[in-house]
Amino acid sequence: MDDFQFILFISVVWVFGFAAVLLIAWHLRNKRRIEKLKLIHEERMKAMEKDIPLPEFPELGEGEGNTLIGKALASNIQSGPWNPRWPLGVGALLIMSGLGTSVAMLMSGWDWHNEMWPFGLIGVFVGVGMFLFYALTRPTSDAR
């Protein structure tokens, strides 16, 4: 196995290993949340059978909303429906990252990067697609 194949193998293992760790963490977190909801449901059903006052539901996100993403999701859920302009932000981010990747690969002195620069255009076209998605699905002025 030459150096290039070894580096490619390590890169693939790194990317897919990282994705696998994230998926496992997400699965375990959701599994713990489901078990908590089942326990709450069982307590409420037992209380209903015995005709005693139902226990209050605790805040389901206790301790989980301390992260930046958790706070952002909680504020979006509390404030109502999602912002209808989210495709514009995602599209702009994808276009800029795709252009940056393409320009960086073109300016790189490596021959392999000079051959692979069009892969940065994938982000650009997905971003343009997000702009088109917004244009086709944006709410009309009388629907607001």
Q: Which residue has the higher pLDDT, 99 or 57?
A: 99
Q: First vs last Cα of the chain: how many Å apart?
A: 62
Looking at the chain, how many residues does it have?
144
pLDDT at position 144: 47
Q: What is the mean pLDDT of residues 56-78?
A: 54
Give me the half-sphere count of Cα atoms (radius 13 Å) on the Cβ side of residue 116: 9
Scan for tokens 């244009």, then name that residue. 135
Q: Does residue 128 register a pLDDT over 80?
A: yes
Alpha helices in the chain (DSSP H): 3-49, 68-79, 86-107, 111-116, 121-137
pLDDT at position 125: 92
**pLDDT tens per residue, range 75-126:** 545 555 667 788 888 889 889 998 988 888 888 888 888 888 888 899 899 9
Scan for tokens 């989980």, then name that residue. 64
Q: Which residue has the higher pLDDT, 34 or 71?
A: 34
Q: What is the mean pLDDT of residues 128-140?
A: 83
Q: What is the mean pLDDT of residues 36-61?
A: 77
Q: Does residue 66 register a pLDDT over 60?
A: no
Share of the chain above pLDDT 70, in %: 76
Beta carbons within 8 Å of 128's beta carbon, 6+ residues apart = 91, 95
pTM over 0.85: no
Q: Could you tell me the two tokens for 8?
A: 């490619």
pLDDT band at 74 (very low <50, low <70, confident <90, very high): low
Beta carbons within 8 Å of 74's beta carbon, 6+ residues apart = 61, 65
